[in-house]
Structures are given as C-alpha cells and as structure tokens.
Amino acid sequence: MTFLTAFVDQVPVDSALVQAVKEDDNWIMHHISDKPIFSLPPIHIGDTVIDLSISAKILMLIISAVLMVIIFAYAAASNMKRKHPKGLGNFIEMMMVFVRDDVVIPSMGKDGVRFLPFFFTLFFFILFVNFLGLVPGMSTGTSSISVTAGLAIITFIMTQVYGIKHNGFFGYFKGLIPPGVPVFVLPVMIIIEFLGLLTKPFALAIRLFANMTAGHIVIYALIGLIFMLGYAVIPVSVAFSLFIYVLELLVAVLQAYIFTMLSALFIGMAIHQDH
C-alpha cells in the first residue's frame, strides 16, 4: 500500500483527512467496517470465538427495530381507530399491499397469506436498515456479510422447516430430486440438489451485502479523489457522489424487494415441490 501513500504525498493538500489517508491505507474500509461500541467478553466454543459485543452495526439493527416498532404500532393504532386510513397509516398500508399483492402472492400463491407477518418484517427490516445506512454519520447494517448471512439463514431455516412440515421429512428430500431421473444420475443429482439448497441462501446473503457495500465504497472513493487530485475535482466528485447516492436510494428499495421476493419464492418452492 505504499504506492497509495506516495501518490498522496504529491498532492499539495494538507488536512487531517489527508493525514489519515497518508497514515492509513485502508481508510475506506475503516469507514465501512464495524466498530465496537459496548464490549462483552467473547464466548469460546471449540475453535470458534463468538463475540456478542454491541457494535455499530448491531446498534443500527436495534435502532431500525425500535423505529419500526414505533412507526408500525402507531400506524396500526391509527388505522384501527378510523375506517379510512390516512397519512402514515395509509402509506404503510400501501406498502403492505404492495408486498402482499406484488411480492408474496405472485411468488408463492395463496399460501403466502399465512407467512405475511414474516415477509412484512423481512421486507421492512431490510428496507429500514438500508435507508438508515444512507443517513450521513450512520452505519449500514446490511453492508456486513454477517448481518445478511443472518437474514439468509432465517430464510433458509424457514424454507426447510415449512418444506418438511408440508411434505414430511422423507417426502421433502425426495421431492428435491426432480421426478423421472434415471437411477445412474441419482448420486450426481443428490449432490447438486443439496448444494442448490445451500447456494440459495448464500446468493441471497452475498447479493444484499454486495449491493449495499458497493455504493458506499464508490462514494468514499469519489470523495477520496478530492484529497488525491486536489480541490479542482470537487464538482466532479460531488456530482458523481450525489448520483451514486440517489442510485443507492433505488438499490436500498430494490434489494429489500428482491430479498423478500426470493425468500417467498424459495419457501413457496419448498412447500409446493411439484412445480
């Protein structure tokens, strides 16, 4: 990383941030990665170390959750009071109808109605965490692979539990292999289908994480250009940062939508294996 510092040395700008850039190769990563806030002693289970300390990202998740409880409980109270919802309650109901009619029911049919609370929570939780991450000075919970992996694991567990519940234990795993497969291909198919089970949540986690991280890295890189090339690039940097920021607003909604839709699709496929 010395060449980066060497390059910064040529820039005739001197500030704390330039100093930071000079001293630290990975300043972007430090902005994106997690920071401990409240430390707890780590738990050792065999080789793995589980550190349950409250970090910045966990704090963001908790803030999102608290905000959601306040906003949705308020909306629920407001909607129950009057016959025609208005204001916030109306807006939230519109979003709920969108999730129900355009995300869950097309993906898994009428069975989805049973799972609506789960999908609402999933969709709005991802949406809130994504949006809060766009507020300056806050950290993006979903730009950590651990958080997205946690969400993907929840979907994975739901998929397996309801697949087994609906089709029976043996029926579910038998149904994973498409009918009419010749016997000699079976060993290969079993491996492929088993891997398929695991790749689905893996793809979910990576997709959300990468989408929410990429925008931030690009914005930081664009801002960093100012301190590397001088103040002349400020208009370009700011314009591009703004563009990426607006794009991130779109991505924040889009990724929440995609995550929810794919989760609904996977659970629906596990319940109805025949198609």
Partner 1 sequence: MALANIFLMKFYSVLMFISSDPHEKKDTLLSVEPGLLIWTIIIFFILLLILKKFAWGPLLKSLNDREQGIKDSVEKAEYLKQEAEKILAENKALLAKADEDARKVIAESKELAEKLRQEMMSKTGDDTSRMIAQAKGEIEREKIAALNSLKDEIANLAVQAAGKLIDENLDNDKQRKLIDNFINKIPQN
User: What residues make contact with partner 1 under the rule CB under 8 A?
Assistant: 1, 3-4, 7, 25-26, 28-29, 32-34, 42, 48-53, 55, 57-58, 61-62, 65, 68-69, 72-73, 75-77, 79-80, 83-85, 89, 92-93, 96-97, 116-118, 120-122, 125, 141, 144-147, 149-151, 153-154, 213, 217, 221, 224-225, 228-229
Contact between 268 and 107 under an 8 Å Cβ cutoff? The reply is yes
Write out the DSSP string of 115-136.
HHHHHHHHHHHHHHHHHHHTST
The residues with which 50 forms a beta bridge, in sequence order, are 43
Element housing 2 (H / E)? helix 2-10
Tokens linked to 160: 């397996």
Nearer to partner 1, 226 or 261 (CB): 226
Please state, as a whole number, how many other Cβ atoms lie within 10 Å of the Cβ of residue 268: 21
Nearer to partner 1, 213 or 255 (CB): 213
Nearer to partner 1, 107 or 144 (CB): 144
- DSSP strand E in the chain: where? 36-38, 43-45, 48-50, 54-55
Nearer to partner 1, 4 or 134 (CB): 4
Strands 48-50 and 36-38 turn out to be: unpaired
Tokens linked to 232: 């002349």
Least spacing, CB of residue 195 vs partner 1, in Å:
19
| 14 phi, psi to nearest 5 deg | -130, 120
Least spacing, CB of residue 145 vs partner 1, in Å:
6
| 47 phi, psi to nearest 5 deg | -85, -25
Least spacing, CB of residue 116 vs partner 1, in Å:
7
Nearer to partner 1, 61 or 176 (CB): 61
Nearer to partner 1, 72 or 173 (CB): 72
Nearer to partner 1, 129 or 251 (CB): 129
Contact between 27 and 21 under an 8 Å Cβ cutoff? The reply is yes
Least spacing, CB of residue 266 vs partner 1, in Å:
17
Nearer to partner 1, 105 or 228 (CB): 228
Contact between 60 and 141 under an 8 Å Cβ cutoff? The reply is yes
Q: How far is CA 107 from CA 96, 101, 103, in A?
A: 15, 10, 6
The residue whose two tokens read 């609906």 is 166
